[in-house]
Amino acid sequence: MSGAGPSGASLRLEIPATCESLELVHEATVRVATTAGFASDAAGEIAVAVGEAMTNVVVHAYRREEGHDIVVRYAADASGLRIELEHSGEYPDRLPAGIDLAKLVAERRRGGLGVHLMRRLMDRVAHEEVAPGVGCWILERRRREPKDADRKGPDPSP
């Protein structure tokens, strides 16, 4: 997916990397996605996925330390919507594989769902080192026609 073209749109937010900022990012994402032509249900799903990436940055990259910022960039074009969340905290060598929900429940775990949820809601989820010491979550959601059918399907895993 390319960046915003002549008929596309882009937006950049630089905000404190805190859990308090999550709702602001959620609202901004819903607004950007609906403006870009996604149906409201799909826009809500995209916003949840972006919130998961931001939560990962706040909790894991910055370990809930105050004083850090995160840059969120949106780029919409004819093919869909791309969101980047750039940070300078710690980042994983590789993203976790799938989850075993029954195992997580048996172990009474309360986490471990975020990356899986992002993958299920978006067409592409990646984390890349874009410069030395700078990590970036990249989330993409393609358009589907008709617009109301642009929702991803259920988890096919057992």
Partner 1 sequence: MPDLEVATRRRGAVVVVEPRGFINAHTVHRFEEVLNRLAADGDARIVISGRSLSYVASAGFGAIMGILEEVRASGGDIRISDLNATVAHIFEVLGFDRLCQTFPTEAEAVESFSTAEAGGKSGDP
Judged by CB under 8 A, does residue 13 bind partner 1?
no
Phi, psi (5° rounding) for residue 8?
-90, -170
- On whether the CB atoms of residues 21 and 51 are closer than 8 A, the answer is no
The distance of Cα 60 from the centroid of its chain, to the nearest Å, equals 15
Q: Give the separation between CA 124 and CA 142, rounded to whole angstroms.
A: 9
State yes or no: residue 97 binds partner 1 (CB under 8 A): no
Verify binding: residue 134, partner 1, rule CB under 8 A.
no
Stretch that binds partner 1, among 6-14, 89-97, 115-123, 129-137 (CB under 8 A): 115-123
* In the complex, minimum distance from the CB of residue 53 to partner 1, in angstroms, rounded to a whole number: 11
Cα separation, 64 vs 84, whole angstroms: 20
Any contact of residue 47 with partner 1 (CB under 8 A)?
A: yes
Nearer to partner 1, 52 or 77 (CB): 52
